[in-house]
Amino acid sequence: MLFIQNATIYSPDQRIDKADILIDAGHIIDLGQTGQVARPVPAQLIDATDLLLVPGFIDLQLNGAFGHDFTANPERIWSVAADLPRFGVTSFLPTIITSRPETISTAQQVLAEQRPAGFRGAEPLGLHLEGPFLNPEKKGAHNPAYLRRPDPSLIADWAPAQGVRLVTLAPELPGALELVEQLVARGVVVSAGHSLADFDQARAGLAAGIAYGTHLFNAMPPLGHREPGLVGALLSDEQSVVGLIPDGIHVHPAIIKLIWAAKGSAGLNLVSDAMAALGMPPGRYSLNDFEVFVTETEARLADGTLAGSILPLDAALRNLIKFAGCSLSEALTTVTSTPAGLLGLSTQRGRIAAGLTADLVLLNREFQVVTTISTGKISYKKEEEKC
């Protein structure tokens, strides 16, 4: 049981100055103005004076971190999850890029069977399968040897109940729209990405049920004023959500500002798209079969192709505020209620309200993570700096 006192609450749907919040059994039990919520004697006290209390961050695209790549070694999902709260991440989709079918099966088994006893960390909500139904001409850092044409037999056990939450595919491929309809009917979110789809093909994909765009502008043709393509279809569609890597490298800050103007907080989802080098020093790391060269700011293959990012999600939040000129509340929506809504989890996560899962982050006034609470338990606490 936790009792947070004197916090300033920022949630997508409300702000409360000097608030108290009671947490028990992994859920928010009560909240209100300081003095209005009773503190039970056994509850551990957290003094949040001068701190901001926000919902836990949800990362829908994470390839790995802390030296581990999920596609090369799905067994490391839980160990990476234990350390993600340092970035304010309380739930995420481990991302498996284009690979052999047995790699996906192993990742499904890991999520189903290998939750460590006493685990405290970010909750894996299911897999994001980025591939194998991608356009070879926009493969990016995916191994073309494993790319496949859409085939219903390959998705027979792709469903949330079997650990699959989100699938990225290229809608222009023959048979892709049939797969979209099948996956959506099972409750899987389908995203367009690594694609050469023109505007009409993209619109057909949206009509079939595509609800998301994977790392907008990357691995797809640029926006043209006469040929708007996939980018134009996603930006002009009022229902879809677009994923964005706001590191200033994958997409220029000026374009990020334009994306914000077009989609707003309800249509934009920040992702890290981080790879194994997240939280590690510069050097050489792996992204499935490829060696990736990592500097202080970016990750690339030997030929210069971007290979994911090394962007923590809390830094992505700060970057959006800087690049787009939006408020903290607006930026928070893109990593909390928007991804929760996309996954159909609005009644469980993404906001601060009684009855919801107690996934919370305490930020300082510079929007840096001080403490993270995952399912009602403290999963990260920043050490005090010594004089």
Active centre residues (catalytic): 273
Decide if 268 contacts 338 (C-beta within 8 A).
yes
Integer CA distances (angstroms), 147 to 128, 188, 341, 370, in order: 16, 20, 30, 42
The residue type of 367 is F
Given a contact cutoff of 8 angstroms between Cβ atoms, the answer to whether 381 and 371 are in contact is: yes
Distance CA 186, CA 293 (A): 38
The two tokens of residue 35 are: 């003095």
In three-state form (DSSP H/G/I as H, E/B as E, the rest C), the secondary structure along 298-318 is: CEECCCCCECCECCCHHHHHH
The residue among 35, 38, 3, 36 whose CA lies nearest residue 21 is 3
